[in-house]
Amino acid sequence: MFPEQVDAATPIVFDVAGSWCFGWLHRAVEPVRRVGVVLCRPLGYEALCSYQTYGALAETLASSGFDVLRFDYQGTGDSAGSDADPDRVAAWVTSIVAATQELRRIAGVDALTLFGVRMGATLAVAAARELGAVDNLILWAPCTTGRAFVRELRAASAGSAQPPAGSQAGDMEALGFLYTAQTLHDLHALDCVRIDTPPAPRALVVLRDDMPGEGPLPAAWREKGVEVDTLTLPGYARMMVEPHKGVVEQDSLDAIAQWLLAVSPPGARALPLAPIEFTPRTLPGGIREMPLRFGPAESLFGVLAEPPADGPSARRKTAILFLNVGHNYRIGPNRLYVHMARALAACGYRTLRFDLSGIGDSPGTSGLRQGNYYAKGSDVDVSAAVDRLEAEGCTRFWLMGVCSGSFVAFQAALADPRVNGQVLMNSRLLEWQDGADENMWQASMQRNYKSTAFYRRELMRPQVYRRLLRGEVDVNGIARRVGTLIEARLKRAVGRLLQREPGDSVLSQARRIAARGADTLVVVAADDDGRDYIEYHFGQRGSRMAGEPNFRMIVVEGCDHTFSSRAGQQVLIDTVRQHLEQKIAP
């Protein structure tokens, strides 16, 4: 049931101050060096953007002879906890310290290097000071102070009109992540420049090629006796974009590995690798989580959450699969899938959040890593996940996905009769037509706007006209989007007059899924642009599927496309949970 060690990377979990962190060990390739490397991730949205680069860097360093550990801080990623927990900054630093201890224990290395991008670099410096120095620090575009990072967060959250739901005074949501007042206060105390003692004898500061200048850190550290090298390398700007647009600059990663090779003494690790025994870890409420490998050559990876053993049998035999949103890895945008998977596991269901081929930690060429994330063929990966869970005793299977994840869910439900239900959230496309007209849906829906319901409401607000006069509204883009909708409706009306068959439409496909007894719940944010697409096919609030007991459409207020706010996520979780309770007996 538990994963075998595959290739150079092995999932691991290690204890941190009464909690636990999830990570990956990348074994060194011969000739092995005595230096181990811990990769410290940036925070929030930047951690999602840089995930692919961190994985590629781990592979690059391992192939250069270094044992590497990349991991999620406590309360982030696949690790236990949440960003609402107290003492976040201390927990993140403690997570790095625990990661270094775990790498020493497993790999037997006697020298350590910490690597970090942005706030990952800042936290690495704080951890090095707590450890009493490490051998090397590699800092890529470090935030020299936590205060500067907080200023950026405040700027990013400036457009938010409402405080986070259930928040305390001073809490802030920025780019889909919560920073409590305590977290913001503690971030202010981080300073990489004003230090009493050197955090490491050697450091490499990787400068941004899109922002000239060294900044104050290298000079300040040289005065403290640190041997500081600087390199200006490309890649930062292309890394810190939405995951589906991200590009890994392999030459830059090779340059980092070459620097570390140059300063690392020859000689193998002091001790052989210790055996890794992965024990399922427990979350509040008795939920157990464990990694799962499956599919061809066990190339697909996911995290399975199991409810307490004494839970309702019908729910325990029901598996809920979460499908990637674009190129966001399995935690989902803003960690949405982690929150949903654990909430539903607490209700008694088994949940699997996993990476489709070519995304996150599921390598492969048949998936979606490059180019179009509506590519055909991902239903095969979903069927492989169903096979694996079927072997675990599951008899019912539900698929869930936001945006492009709903496309995969819909196509998999069509292809695999074992699928009993699907939850389609803020869908922009449910089918893909090769060579389709550029003016039609699939081209139009790649340009993000709002629903026509939103624009109709906005026309009633006087301040909108002032923005129009100042040229602050993309009138042409909105007109093109509305034109696409009008054109599609006109073509359908003409087709009906001429009694032309519409072919295998999304509507007929949904009816076919419903006819075999499989359930469909469509959840659409009221202002989301996908609402136009969904209501074109299914009618206003699902009216074209009226009378179909296996179809339901719900429009939710106050949510954005990826349900990024805490309030939006809670609305979604409650909506899905209540629907499942009606459909699946305890």
Peptide bond just before 417 cis, omega within 30 deg: no
Distance separating alpha carbons of residues 345 and 459, to the nearest angstrom: 43
Written as tens digits, the pLDDT of the chain (586 aa) is 333 333 568 999 999 988 999 999 999 988 888 899 999 999 999 999 999 999 999 999 999 999 999 999 999 999 999 999 999 999 999 999 999 999 999 998 989 999 999 999 999 999 999 999 899 999 999 999 999 999 999 998 876 656 666 667 889 999 999 999 999 999 999 999 999 899 999 999 999 988 878 889 999 999 999 999 999 999 999 999 888 888 899 999 999 999 999 999 777 776 677 777 777 899 988 999 999 999 988 999 999 999 988 767 889 999 999 999 988 999 999 999 999 999 999 999 999 999 999 899 998 754 444 446 676 778 999 999 999 999 999 999 999 999 999 999 999 999 999 999 999 999 988 987 765 554 466 667 667 778 888 877 877 788 777 777 777 777 787 777 777 777 777 877 776 677 666 667 899 999 999 999 999 999 999 999 899 999 999 999 999 999 899 999 999 999 999 999 999 999 999 999 999 999 987 7
Structure tokens at 180: 């409590």
Do the beta carbons of residue 414 and residue 408 sit within 8 Å? no
Give the pLDDT confidence score for residue 417 in this predicted structure. 97
Domain range list for the chain: 10-143+200-263, 282-434+506-583
Quick one: which of 382, 347, 361, 336 has its CA closest to 584?
347
Give the pLDDT confidence score for residue 489 in this predicted structure. 76
Distance separating alpha carbons of residues 169 and 545, to the nearest angstrom: 45
Q: Are strands 318-323 and 396-402 parallel, antiparallel or unpaired?
A: parallel
Give the pLDDT confidence score for residue 313 in this predicted structure. 82
Cβ neighbours, 10 Å, residue 232: 15
Give the pLDDT confidence score for residue 3 in this predicted structure. 34
Cβ neighbours, 10 Å, residue 271: 13
Sign of CA dihedral 296, 302, 303, 305: negative
Contacts 24+ apart (CB under 8 A), 27-32: 27/62, 27/67, 27/107, 27/273, 28/62, 28/65, 28/66, 28/67, 28/68, 28/107, 28/269, 29/62, 29/63, 29/64, 29/65, 30/65, 31/65, 31/266, 31/268, 32/65, 32/67, 32/268, 32/269
Single-letter amino acid, residue 4: E
Distance separating alpha carbons of residues 95 and 73, to the nearest angstrom: 6
Give the pLDDT confidence score for residue 32 in this predicted structure. 87
In Å, what is the CA distance from 312 to each residue of 191, 192, 457, 485, 574?
A: 51, 52, 45, 45, 19
Distance separating alpha carbons of residues 217 and 160, to the nearest angstrom: 33
Domain 10-143+200-263 has what CATH class? alpha beta
Distance separating alpha carbons of residues 352 and 305, to the nearest angstrom: 6
Decide if 10-143+200-263 and 282-434+506-583 have a common fold.
Answer: yes
Give the pLDDT confidence score for residue 101 in this predicted structure. 96
Give the CATH architecture of domain 282-434+506-583: 3-Layer(aba) Sandwich (3.40)
